[in-house]
Amino acid sequence: MKTSIAIYPGSFDPVTNGHLDLIERGEKMFDLLIVAVLRNTEKAPLFSVPERVEMLREVTRQWSGVEVEVFDGLLVDYARKRHAGVILRGIRAISDYEYELQMALMNRKLEPRLETVFMLPGETYSYLSSKLVREIAQLGGPLQGLVPPVVEDRLRAKILRSVRKNLSNVRRQNALRGSGQTGATKRRKRATD
């Protein structure tokens, strides 16, 4: 019997119920499904890579055939290293198709033995993306049904922390203004003391 190892790569910032829908389908299909978090230096992420991995491990704990790892560099190199024959990707709408097609064909050129398998999520998740989730969370909207409860808690905590940080920055600025000292005048004063 052939063992099938598939890699499901993405940024998962954070993992959504759409990702989980795909993981659940993939877990049934492959002997081992490796959810691989891309260490992407281009995007400014909301969650750090360790935070994303921690959340993914927690919400995939019930599946023994699912592993969560971090990877950087070329996906085909990582797939070779893990002896994977399949890349799993999701297609939500036609808008995903063009980019996914380009990636799949390029990966095939780089490694012809590697197959890309596309899956469709349940239709409730076909509009769901991490980007939307981040935006809704930042605007204080409801996240129920979009992400697992543990991710919802982490999102709220993260947003609250950044709001508090902004607030204390504003207070500091106001206090300096009130005392007639901005950061620059304080620095100038210190320099002439």
* Catalytic residue annotation: 19, 43, 92, 130
Residue span binding ligand ATP (CB under 6 A) among the ranges 8-16, 28-36, 158-166, 176-184: 8-16
User: CA 91, CA 150: separation in Å to the nearest integer?
Assistant: 25
Binding mask 101-130 for ligand ATP (x = CB under 6 A): --------------------x---x--xxx
Helical H segments across the chain, by residue range: 17-29, 49-59, 75-81, 94-110, 130-138, 149-178, 183-192
19 is a contact residue toward ligand ATP (CB under 6 A): yes
Neighbour-count burial of 181, counting CB atoms closer than 10 A to its CB (0-12 exposed, 13-18 middle, 19+ buried): middle
| Rounded least distance, CB 77 to ligand ATP, Å | 19
Q: Using CB under 6 A, pick the residue from 5, 6, 7, 11 that binds ligand ATP.
A: 11
C-alpha to C-alpha distances, 131 to 5, 8, 74, 137, 157, nearest whole angstrom: 28, 18, 24, 10, 17
For β-strands 115-119 and 32-38, DSSP reports them as unpaired
| Dihedral angle sign, alpha carbons of residues 169, 54, 75, 89 | negative
Binding mask 75-104 for ligand ATP (x = CB under 6 A): --------------xx-x---x--------
47 is a contact residue toward ligand ATP (CB under 6 A): no
Nearer to ligand ATP, 98 or 193 (CB): 98
Using CB under 6 A, count the residues that bind ligand ATP: 18
| Rounded least distance, CB 66 to ligand ATP, Å | 14
71 is a contact residue toward ligand ATP (CB under 6 A): no
Q: Could you tell me the maximum CA-CA distance found in the chain, to the nearest angstrom?
A: 80
